[in-house]
Amino acid sequence: MSMKLLTKLATAIADGSVKIVDLTHTLDPDFPVIILPPEFNQCARFRMEELSAYDHRGPAWKWHNLTLSEHTGTHFDAPSHWISGRDLPDNSVDAIAPEQFIGPVVVIDCTLGAAMDEDFELTAPFISDWESNYGKIPNGCWVLMRTDWSKKSGRNYLNMREDGPHSPGPTPEAIRFLIEERDIRGFGTETVGTDAGQGGHYNPPYPAHYFLHGAGKYGLQCLANLDQLPPTGAILLAAPLKIKDGTGSPLRVMAMIPGGNT
């Protein structure tokens, strides 16, 4: 039975009845990273050093050394990333069971709100409204907050001002609802973090990080192409690199969605 299922899936991908959507930004030295106060250590930018390019440094081959942080570019946050998840079992990227990396996903469209308010908040009532249209969020599901923020570039992406960055994100109550009432797998955003730009001013500060990782849930951020996903019914593939005791990892995030001819 399951073999048949996999064969059917392979056929569906090949004939386009299941489409693959890439939700990943290109790793690019110019892609913004989160900025902390300058006395703290900072997230490494993505860097590539050429080792050879079919030349005197290596006549037949081209290759690079990379420098990057666990949290550079489109990336995955493991529970050990936050102090609230520090003592959980299997809280690092190498310890998470692989079946966690493939699962259902729902997409909550916040584009209207985010377009009008750079500090737009995803609230618990907003989620309830969404559920009244698309049904209850199933347990074990990824929840992605679509804002079309990924279409911004340069300084508009981080949107840093003297009082810090301004970008949309969830309220503490919304995140607690998703965890406590819906037992989600994880939460993902198009912005540089799972929390709002001004998320440090909530109680607790950075509630998405605090509550998600405290409950053993995962984060995804710097996602792209969420406008290509249906509100429900897609499957998310998000497997971080197997880094020993890693608190997160850059990764290729993809979704399988129903194609045109189904």
Partner 1 sequence: MTNPLLPPPRKDPQKRTVSPTRPPEARSRAALGLSAAAAEGRFALQQCTECGKIQYPPRDACSNCLSTELRWKDTDCLGSILAETRLRTSIKPYFRERTPWRTGTVKLDSGPVIICHLHGDCERNGRVQIINRLDRSGQAVLFALPQKRSLYMEDDPQLRAMTSDPKHRRILITDARNPNTPYIAKSLAAAGASLIFIGESENWRPYPGQEAVAQLDKVEVLPLDVTDTQSVQKLAGAIGGKTDILINNAHFVRPGGVFVRGDTAMAKEEIEVNYFGLMRLAQAFGPAMCTRTADGENAAVAWVNILSVHSLSNNPQYGCYSASNAAARSLSQSLRAEFRTAGLRVMNIYCGPTEDDWYQPLPPPKVSPETVAKNLVEGLRNGLEETYCGDVAKDLFERFRESPHILEREMTLAGEGP
Give the binding site for partner 1 (CB under 8 A). 29-30, 32, 35, 38-39, 41-42, 45, 47-50, 153-155, 157-158, 160-161
Of 65 and 133, which has the nearer Cβ to partner 1?
A: 65
Of 59 and 154, which has the nearer Cβ to partner 1?
A: 154
Tell me the backbone φ, ψ of residue 81, rounded to 5 degrees: -65, -30
List the alpha helices (DSSP H) in 50-205. 111-116, 124-134, 155-158, 172-176
* Residue in 25, 71, 75, 81 annotated catalytic: 81
Give min distance, CB of 165 to partner 1, in A. Answer: 10
Other C-beta atoms lying within 10 Å of the C-beta of residue 148? 16
Residue 243 burial (C-beta neighbours within 10 Å; 0-12, 13-18, 19+): middle
Establish whether 81 is a catalytic residue.
yes
Give min distance, CB of 247 to partner 1, in A. Answer: 15
Asked if 196 and 119 count as a contact pair (C-beta separation under 8 A), the reply is yes
Residue 123 burial (C-beta neighbours within 10 Å; 0-12, 13-18, 19+): middle
What does the buried/exposed string (b/e) look like for 41-72 if buried means 16 or more CB atoms within 10 Å of the residue's CB? Answer: eebebbeeeeeeeeeeeeeeeeeeeeebbbbb
Give min distance, CB of 31 to partner 1, in A. Answer: 8
Of 197 and 207, which has the nearer Cβ to partner 1?
A: 197
Q: What SS3 state is found at 65?
A: strand
Asked if 230 and 108 count as a contact pair (C-beta separation under 8 A), the reply is no
Of 11 and 42, which has the nearer Cβ to partner 1?
A: 42
Q: How far is Cα of residue 86 from the mean position of the Cα atoms in its chain? A: 20
Other C-beta atoms lying within 10 Å of the C-beta of residue 87? 10
Please work out, in degrees rounded to the nearest 5, the angle formed at the alpha carbon of residue 186 by the alpha carbons of 38 and 164: 25
Of 21 and 33, which has the nearer Cβ to partner 1?
A: 33
Give min distance, CB of 39 to partner 1, in A. Answer: 7
Active site members: 81
